Amino acid sequence: MMRRLALACFGMVLATAARAQPLPDDFVYLRDLDPSIRQDIRYAGVNNFVGRKLAGYDANECIVKRSVGLALQKVQRELAPQNVSLKMLDCYRPARASREMVAWAQDGHETAAQKRYNPGFSKSELFRLGYIAEYSGHSTGAAVDVTLVDLHAPTGPSFDPNRAYADCTAPEALRAPENSVDMGTGYDCSDAKAHTSAKSITAGQRRWRKLLAGAMVRQGFVNFSKEWWHFSLPGGGRQAYDFPIAPRTR
């Protein structure tokens, strides 16, 4: 009995030590730089196009290169007088998660829930069309997926994995809840309507996109034209990392 207890305690010590290991190469937890920036890391749960937690996402935490985090902090400060906050949807992505996305796109199976994210074509086309790649800038720590939250707006309903929502191009009230401003499509929507400069959105949705893009660009970020939510900071390096996203220990 005592031997089993000792082994269990030793295992707990090892697990704690593993979580406490410092982040490599100037990576930081964004929460340590600016806790006011909201976080909803979608691949750490089931509310994403794959429908499950992805490998390496062991905590709902945004990890980025320090230069990226400091730039996001400046964006947040610019938005604060307008009662608007950034909300991070994805930050550093372990390379194993990108490989899992590629395998998912090529597995030949597609559910109705997954189809909500690419209503115009099959998921096998995502790789060819450039929506999924074996190499992701997210794995360098220099790319982020982000939206905006109106701090004066009431909190909406939570995501229900058992509900049959409309696809990501549908009106906001019908698609899966984002608890953020209405950008015209849901996050990770593989459709022309999600292109940053899409003409098929309302004037209000366009204003939100311009507000986000303008604030990000002023701090050096570059937007990916097919995704209103995706921004990268040049100069962050091209090395892809594969360490897991562990819980913060302080």
H or E, element range at 40: none
pLDDT in tens, 177-215: 999 999 999 999 999 999 999 999 999 999 999 999 999
pLDDT in tens, 51-65: 999 999 999 999 999
Relative to beta strand 84-90, strand 143-150 is antiparallel
- Where do the structural domains in the chain lie, given as residue ranges? 27-232
Average pLDDT in the 210-223 region?
A: 98
The arrangement of secondary structure in 27-232, i.e. its CATH architecture, is: 2-Layer Sandwich (3.30)
The pTM of the whole model exceeds 0.75:
yes
Is the pLDDT at 22 greater than 80? The verdict is no
Residues 6+ apart with CB under 8 A from 109: none
Q: Where are the alpha helices (DSSP H) in the chain?
A: 2-20, 30-33, 66-79, 95-105, 112-115, 125-128, 203-217
pLDDT for the residue numbered 132 = 82
23, 36 in Cβ contact below 8 A? no
Counting Cα atoms < 13 Å in the Cβ hemisphere of 221 gives 31
Q: How confident is the model at residue 83 (pLDDT cuts 50, 70, 90)?
A: very high
75, 217 in Cβ contact below 8 A? no
Catalytic residue set: 227
Percentage of the residues of the chain whose pLDDT score is greater than 90? 75
As annotated, the binding site includes 138, 145, 230
**Mean pLDDT of all residues belonging to the chain:** 90
Residues composing the chain: 250
Is the pLDDT at 79 greater than 90? The verdict is yes
Task: Tell me which of 86-95, 125-134, 177-186, 241-250 is least confident.
Answer: 125-134
pLDDT for the residue numbered 21 = 60
Average pLDDT in the 158-163 region?
A: 93
Average pLDDT in the 208-228 region?
A: 97
End-to-end CA distance of the chain, in Å?
A: 33
Q: Which two tokens stand for residue 120?
A: 């115009």
